[in-house]
Chains A and B, each alone.
Chain A
Amino acid sequence: MNEKALNVRQICFLFAAILPVTRMLVYPATLSYRAKNDLVWAALISFAAEFAVIALLLLLAKKTDLTFFGLVQNTFGRVAARIACFVFSLYFFFSSLLPVLEQRGFILQVFYENVSSFLSFIPFVAVSLYASVKGLRSTGRVADLSLPIFAVCIPVLLLLALPEADFTALLPVGSTGAGNIFRSAAEGMNWFGGAAYMLFFLGNFRYEKKSAVKILSAYGIGAAIVLFFLALFYGIFSDIAILQQNALAHISKYATSFTSLGRIDLLFIFALSPVLLFALCLPLQLSTRCAAEALHVRPVFPAAAIHLLLLLFILFFNQSYLEIQTLMTQKLWYVFVVFALLLPALALVLRREKGAGAGGARLKNGRRL
């Protein structure tokens, strides 16, 4: 019997089906702001960096069964491990803020909501709170649920959009300059939390033979789908790409809006909404787990505090998406580079030998972090 919260299949599904969808809303328009027709290259840089860090973490997972907490505790002691967990808890909470407002815009547009209400967020917060209390096991189950939805909906949407795309819009390659491409890649790091997630999956899944190949292949498939999506997106919108804030809701409508069937693509977009919701819960779940470990309390208390903070954030910044987007992408991009790439990569230098009580910290409810 596998005691671990996650298994390799679920991690594969997470990278292949859940995380790619989060990069199909505002991320394409954000990239095209600076990288313009080179947005695919900017995204490729981000994917390559994240792929490399995940590969390093899988190398670590192959050599040790310790969790991140265990590794830090082994190297720097329990207090340092708690501090590290607390800092990552803050990071995960911080990284969830823009996606929450991003999701708001998407829901308003796709569900034709007329009044943006604070109350609209209550059900999301309730679901996220529940998922956060449940822990990583729920993440795995959600990944199992998301893959079939993704596997059906995304190909349909891409195929509907394909006839509208003119891929020559991506030419000439490199015309925006290397500086803009790299800067654009850095500004898009808010959407690249995969390596940080992987850091906290360490010790929570059983590393089996070829696990790394499977996970990296799944990551590659997810990345390829997003890159193709970006190419399609720019092929359809070219010079007005920057105006298309919810790319997923737009790319397929031209094939359907004037047909007798109407916007049948909306059915597939609706179906993907729960996947986006699950993706939104993920950083909040991890924030809760990290806080619970840092403070050594049951997850329900930090979960309640984190979600209360989230509600307050929504209350005050409900109408400030553009300001938050500018802050996260153009001003604080380095926070994401540090926490989503550099720190997970540095985990490789942590001590792997088991010290006393380092085999993975246990939370108050007995689960491992």
Chain B
Amino acid sequence: MKTNKIGMRIFLLIAAFLLLLFFSNDFGLIDIQKTSIITAIGIDAGEEGGMDITAQIAVPEAGNSGKAGNVSVKGARTVGEAISLLNLKTGWYPTLVHCRLILLGEAATKTDVFRSLDYFLRSQFVEDSCLVAVCAERAEDALGAQSPVGDMTYAAIEKVLSSEAQKTGLVSVNNLREFSKGYYSVGKSSFLPVLTLKKDAQAEGGGSSSANESQSGSSAKSASAGSDLFDASSTMLFFRGRQADVLSAEETLAFNLAYTATDFAYGNVSVSENGENVTYNLKIKITKKSEKVSDEKGVPVLRFSIRARAQIADASDAGSAQEVAQSSVVPAFVLQAAQDRLRLQLDAAFKKAQNCGCDLFGVCQSLQRFQPRLLQTLGENALSAAKASFDIRFDTLH
């Protein structure tokens, strides 16, 4: 009996030890020196229908300093092939678990981007929470840019595309999950921010563009005197995975204020005062917003309802002491001008999207969920038949 108890205890200890190994993944132990962590992937159109893939790689090292560099593979037919080639050429086993950014070169968006993006959806080991953006030029160049905020360029780009940027309406941020949802939805539409690389005057030659299967460490880049800045204020519209049109910065802001998670923004509005053109910089806090598609005699009408509170942040004209003190009070004519401007930009964004077939505001999806019969009746013409109406009201302290 006693032997039995001792045997059971030994068995328990062994089971506990094995469980510890199981849950701490020591059974899947791999040599960290042979592992590279891909933090960002750039996809560009290559020659003869192929694609050029650039991976920004962080290599963990003992101590505080890690290295990062870009590795490119040119002319791959698929992303999967490019990843295999990375392994073949470098000896690293790339893990995409920590890939937080996918950049698409502008040329790559002229064909269905899901030719390459579906790789990331197929694998369970790639996080679909990663950010996706389009580069105004080549993704490889953007990833090779000199970051002003850290060793790794992806960190700088991630900051530009952060949720804070989204909240202030400057950028229409999108991640792989949302972009894919749009692509596979009834509207087959989505959007991505357009990342423009603005070269600093001192940074001539500071960036590192990778040669074929070449490697360039960021430590070398950090010796560069200057830095590159990123701008993502415009937004590219997609229909069936292809580039359809681009929203300007002002249209992007209007789109964000009306439709996305933006609830706070700064915007300029120009009015004529005493024969002079004065620009007010308004701080706008969205208090309520909604959009609803209704069936009005067989026509889908998208009704935007926006309520906002505005304050004066600054003005191009010098104000009196009293005016500066009362910056929370916005004159009625400035409010009206701000309302009109938002309506104008929002209407422009709606029409631009409508004309290129991009269901930016989810008209078809809304019809599918709430008015399926109308969608069935209108079929492919649902978006082009839609009309927009606006109920925008800005308020201020009185």
Looking at the complex, which of A84-92, A111-119, A196-204, A354-362 is the stretch in contact with chain B?
Answer: A111-119
User: Is there a chain A Cβ closer than 8 Å to B150's Cβ?
Assistant: no
Known A114-B93, A123-B22; contact A240-B177, beta-carbon cutoff 8 A = yes
Q: Is the CB of B95 within 8 A of A112?
A: yes
Contacts of A182 in B (CB 8 A): none
Q: Is the CB of A120 within 8 A of B22?
A: yes
A257's partner among B27, B129, B180, B368 (CB-CB below 8 A) is B129
Q: Which A residues, 245 to 288, have Cβ-Cβ distances below 8 Å to chain B? A: 245-246, 250, 253-254, 257-258, 270, 273-274
Q: Is the CB of A112 within 8 A of B97?
A: yes
Known A169-B369, A270-B23; contact A239-B124, beta-carbon cutoff 8 A = no
Q: Which residue in chain B gives the minimum CB-CB distance to A124?
A: B22
Contacts of A119 in B (CB 8 A): 27
User: Is there a chain A Cβ closer than 8 Å to B344's Cβ?
Assistant: no
User: Is there a chain B Cβ closer than 8 Å to A326's Cβ?
Assistant: no
Q: Is the CB of A238 within 8 A of B181?
A: yes
Q: Is the CB of A175 within 8 A of B18?
A: no
Q: How large is the interface on A (under 10, 10 to 19, 20 to 34, 35 or more residues)?
A: 35 or more
Where chain A touches its partner, the secondary structure class is: helix
Q: Which B residues, 339 to 398, have Cβ-Cβ distances below 8 Å to chain A? A: 368-370, 372
Q: Is the CB of B370 within 8 A of A238?
A: no
User: Is there a chain A Cβ closer than 8 Å to B116's Cβ?
Assistant: no
Known A122-B18, A254-B177; contact A239-B125, beta-carbon cutoff 8 A = no
Contacts of B19 in A (CB 8 A): 123, 127
Where chain B touches its partner, the secondary structure class is: helix
Contacts of A105 in B (CB 8 A): 124
Contacts of A168 in B (CB 8 A): 369-370
Known A122-B18, A238-B185, A273-B23; contact A109-B125, beta-carbon cutoff 8 A = yes
User: Is there a chain B Cβ closer than 8 Å to A172's Cβ?
Assistant: yes
Of B11, B25, B100, B131, most A-chain CB atoms within 10 Å: B25
Q: Is the CB of B175 within 8 A of A254?
A: yes
Q: Is the CB of A113 within 8 A of B129?
A: no
A111's partner among B23, B177, B368 (CB-CB below 8 A) is B23
B25's partner among A112, A250, A258 (CB-CB below 8 A) is A112
Contacts of A107 in B (CB 8 A): 22
Contacts of B30 in A (CB 8 A): 114-115
Known A112-B97, A114-B28; contact A130-B15, beta-carbon cutoff 8 A = yes
Q: Is the CB of B181 within 8 A of A113?
A: no
Q: Which residue in chain B gives the minimum CB-CB distance to A115?
A: B28
User: Is there a chain A Cβ closer than 8 Å to B14's Cβ?
Assistant: yes
Contacts of B162 in A (CB 8 A): 258
User: Is there a chain A Cβ closer than 8 Å to B249's Cβ?
Assistant: no
Q: Could you tell me the distance in whole angstroms from the C-beta of B323 to the nearest C-beta in chain A?
A: 39
Q: Which B residues, 66 to 118, have Cβ-Cβ distances below 8 Å to chain A? A: 93, 95, 97, 100
Determine the distance from Cα of A240 to Cα of B128 in the docked complex, in whole angstroms: 11
Determine the distance from Cα of A169 to Cα of B370 in the docked complex, in whole angstroms: 10
Contacts of A114 in B (CB 8 A): 28, 30, 35, 93, 95
Q: Is the CB of B129 within 8 A of A253?
A: yes
Q: Is the CB of A123 within 8 A of B175?
A: no
B15's partner among A127, A240, A273 (CB-CB below 8 A) is A127
Known A123-B18, A240-B177; contact A111-B372, beta-carbon cutoff 8 A = no
Contacts of B369 in A (CB 8 A): 168-169, 171-172
Determine the distance from Cα of A250 to Cα of B372 in the docked complex, in whole angstroms: 30
Contacts of B125 in A (CB 8 A): 108-109
B181's partner among A126, A240, A253, A270 (CB-CB below 8 A) is A240
Contacts of A175 in B (CB 8 A): 372
Q: Could you tell me the distance in whole angstroms from the C-beta of A40 to the nearest C-beta in chain B?
A: 15
User: Is there a chain B Cβ closer than 8 Å to A309's Cβ?
Assistant: no
Q: Is the CB of A257 within 8 A of B127?
A: yes
Contacts of A240 in B (CB 8 A): 121, 128, 177, 180-181, 184
Contacts of B163 in A (CB 8 A): 258
Determine the distance from Cα of A351 to Cα of B187 in the docked complex, in whole angstroms: 60
Contacts of A172 in B (CB 8 A): 368-370, 372
Q: Which residue in chain A gives the minimum CB-CB distance to B21?
A: A123
User: Is there a chain B Cβ closer than 8 Å to A237's Cβ?
Assistant: yes
Determine the distance from Cα of A112 to Cα of B125 in the docked complex, in whole angstroms: 8
User: Is there a chain A Cβ closer than 8 Å to B225's Cβ?
Assistant: no
* Given A257-B127, A273-B23: 13 more A-B contacts, CB < 8 Å: A105-B124, A108-B124, A109-B125, A111-B25, A112-B97, A114-B35, A126-B15, A237-B181, A240-B128, A240-B180, A246-B124, A258-B158, A274-B23
What 8 A-B pairs are tightest by C-beta distance, nearest first? A123-B18, A113-B28, A123-B22, A171-B369, A239-B184, A120-B27, A257-B129, A111-B25
10 A-B residue contacts at CB 8 Å?
A108-B125, A109-B124, A114-B35, A124-B22, A239-B185, A245-B124, A250-B128, A257-B127, A258-B158, A258-B162
A residues with CB within 8 A of B: 105, 107-109, 111-117, 119-120, 122-124, 126-127, 130, 168-169, 171-172, 175, 236-240, 243, 245-246, 250, 253-254, 257-258, 270, 273-274
B residues with CB within 8 A of A: 11-12, 14-15, 18-19, 21-23, 25, 27-28, 30, 35, 93, 95, 97, 100, 121, 124-125, 127-129, 131, 158, 162-163, 175, 177, 180-181, 184-185, 368-370, 372
